[in-house]
Amino acid sequence: MASLEKHIKIHEQCKFSLPFESQLSLPLTFFDLFWLRFHPVERVFFYTLSNSQSHPSFFFQTIVPKLKSSLSLTLQHFLPIAGKIVWSSDSPKPFIQFNPVDDGVSLIIAQCDEDQDDIDFKKLLEYNTPHEVSLSRYFVPHLDSTDSFASILSIQITLFPKSGFSIGLSSHHAVLDGKSSTMFIKAWASTCKSLEETLSPSLKPSLEPFFGREVVVDANDFERLFISIWSDISSKQRSLQIMPNSKASQQSLVRATFELKRVDLEKLNKRVLSKWNMVELELAQQKEPKMETSKPKKLSNFVLTCAYVFVCIAKANQEANSDKEYKFACGFSADCRARLDPPIPENYFGNCVNTHIVETEYENFTQEDGLVIVAKRIYDKIKKMDEGVLEGMETLIFRLLAMKREGIQTMGVSGSTRLGVYEIDFGFGRPAKVEITSLDRGLTIGLAESKDLKGGVEVGLVLDKYVMGEFHSLFHEGLCFEE
């Protein structure tokens, strides 16, 4: 068995080819082209098993064949992700191509060394406890990209003897958004679980992908704009190489997962709304832009979670580095499927998100009523999306580049509490933990519903270890306030 670093041993490395005779292609829309050279989205699903199930002989002889068989069946419904992105010399834009001779999904079957103490499965599942950021990277596979092509999906299944296993996925953001990638994983899990009953399981209509690109109307010619931007950024106009990212290699970074329980969110909602009108008056006196929306009866968990965590991150950075001045901004991506006119199918497979920058001032995040101000700004931005969900898309990349040049750190959001990742059961029970590994590529928080499915929110993040210490204190102290 070959070694993967010093922690992991590879049992098998293969490519899942599919039984199709002809070459297929699928165009990329402007939603896809926006993400053409962004880093892959990487997630790991951790599952616990009994001692007997997680014994290597049983796992590799019984569970792995079931996972592989169901994967093969599922990929027949999701053929494009078994191909790659190409940009041929005779094509004005890149596109998805599946060649049955060469293409397929890369799959790694691996095992943690039983004698290796560096990886503790139970500690990986803990909350509020930071661990070295690079540790999670042992469980997600590499996604190939060059100037001429980019792979779309790769998968790694890793056994933790006597504990459980993980499924790590790396997916190209120019082909799959969060909703699409979760649809695929749910379809795979559903097929795997159904193999006990039938050899030819069918998918629920909601898990059957719709690939029709004709439903995406490019009235603003965004496609031409994004192709031009990527051509200008690269010295090689047709490069598909993923842009390098140095943050993930920083030695001082740690990863942790926190939870806002339902009762915490109710407290935060009451706290923010109790100061809503007072803060509005204060902002007016400071001649800051007036909020366009009236006071709501209740704020969403998304607004409360993002505002609270963004404020804690900003304050933690300031506390850990008091001699340094930070400039923060925040933004989030919104699913456009139901917001387009006309709306497109919920099972549309591809990207259909737009990123929105929240109109905040740098000091909003660290001032006394920062939580209320930031919550109001996020709420206001969401309300404005009803007027046009694609608003600002033509200038977004330029704004992000300008903010980076000015030293502004943009806090973003990955994942969603609406994706239902903790419901994904391959027949071995629901996940013990789901982690968005690619959070280490930027200052991004990862959201998911709480694994107990009782209305809470799970938050993953990657920070400098000293900043993480301050964040830990601020996060928990802020939930102990008196109502």
Active-site residues: which are they?
A: 173, 425
User: Reduced to 3 states, what is the DSSP secondary structure of residue 457?
Assistant: strand
For 62, 379, 460, the CA distances from 48, given in Å and listed in that order, are 16, 38, 20
Give the position of tokens 């919104």.
334
User: Reduced to 3 states, what is the DSSP secondary structure of residue 334?
Assistant: strand
The C-alpha atoms of residue 196 and residue 428 are separated, in whole angstroms, by 12
The C-alpha atoms of residue 355 and residue 338 are separated, in whole angstroms, by 16
Residues contacting residue 203 through CB under 8 Å, at least 6 positions apart: 77, 187, 190, 191
Nearest to 209 by CA among 103, 79, 333: 79
What is the four-CA torsion angle of 132, 137, 139, 145, rounded to 10 degrees?
180
What is the four-CA torsion angle of 434, 439, 445, 449, rounded to 10 degrees?
-10
DSSP string, 226-283: HHHHHHHHSSSTT--PPPP--GGG-TTEEEEEEEE-HHHHHHHHHHHHHTHHHHHHHH
